[in-house]
Amino acid sequence: MSPDPAEKRVAFVTGASRGIGKAISLSQAQQGRHVVLVSRSEGPLSEVKSLIEESGGSASVRAVDVSDAAALKDAVEGVIEEFGRLDVVVNNAGVTRDGLVMRMSDEDFETVIQTNLMSAFITCRSAARAMMKHRFGRIVNIASTSGVVGNPGQANYAASKAGLIGLTKSLARELGGKGVTANVIAPGFVETDMTAALGDAIRSKVTEAMAIKRLGKPEDIADAVSYVASEGAGYLTGQVICVDGGLTMC
């Protein structure tokens, strides 16, 4: 028999409509969490919700643009009000606006920081009190190896992801005494819409540089999230785990 929904842990996953966030949502649901699926449009989220329900899990949908700080705050607070808890937050929604620094517009810099970094600050700040009250929380921020080693053409993206690392380590130190952990998963190259435009030459160059000679699958990232968000990972905090097939070994 599945657990009483009122007793289920609740996971809030941004960017849940496709790619890595969809895989994370499916795996969190498989682990018995009620998953709150967040991204901009309701249609694709409802499809993920149906997939979860078909496999016996439970989920709900919140169509929110995470770059809208007020709307995101309302969404997190609404979940805490509805369920009386928020146990897991996965900040996964992310965008790129690539270009060399010399040609990068203020707008492309700001959009990426607002969507990838500011949103994580908002969700973590909004969720922290409820997590501390229940003396349990798992914050998982999805960064990128670009945020650790940099990447030409991605100064805005790398800055947002490096910022996520600093945010996460600080949260880990602030909340660790209350049973709340905060960790970063930093993917390398994963087969999703985000990397779909990469040409064959770049793909084979990157794959050749990897210890494990293939691009990542969304499920490779979801498996790592699954561990850091698990009940058993209570002593792991402030870590950056690069899931990149051994590309950077950072």
Closest CA to 5 of 31, 27, 33, 25: 33
* Ordered strands of the 34-39 beta sheet: 58-63, 34-39, 10-14, 88-91, 137-142, 180-187, 240-243
Residue 15 binds ligand NAP (CB under 6 A): yes
Task: Please give the size of the binding site for ligand NAP, defined by CB under 6 A.
Answer: 29
Is the Cβ–Cβ distance between 35 and 59 less than 8 Å? yes
Using CB under 6 A as the binding rule, whether residue 25 contacts ligand NAP is answered as no
DSSP 58: E
Q: Which of 83, 109, 157, 189 is catalytic?
A: 157
Based on the shown chain and the rule CB under 6 A, indicate whether residue 154 belongs to the binding site for ligand NAP: no
Note if 157 is an active site residue.
yes
Which of 59, 194, 229, 241 is in the footprint of ligand NAP by CB under 6 A?
194
Residue type, 176: G
Q: Can you tell me which of 190, 229, 241, 247 binds ligand NAP, judged by CB under 6 A?
A: 190
Residue 137 binding ligand NAP, by CB under 6 A: no
| Residue 189 found at the interface with ligand NAP (CB under 6 A) | yes
Structure tokens at 223: 């498996």
Distance CA 130, CA 208 (A): 45
Nearer to ligand NAP, 76 or 136 (CB): 76
Q: Which residues bind ligand NAP (CB under 6 A)?
A: 14-21, 39-41, 44, 65-67, 92-95, 115, 142, 144, 187, 189-190, 192-195
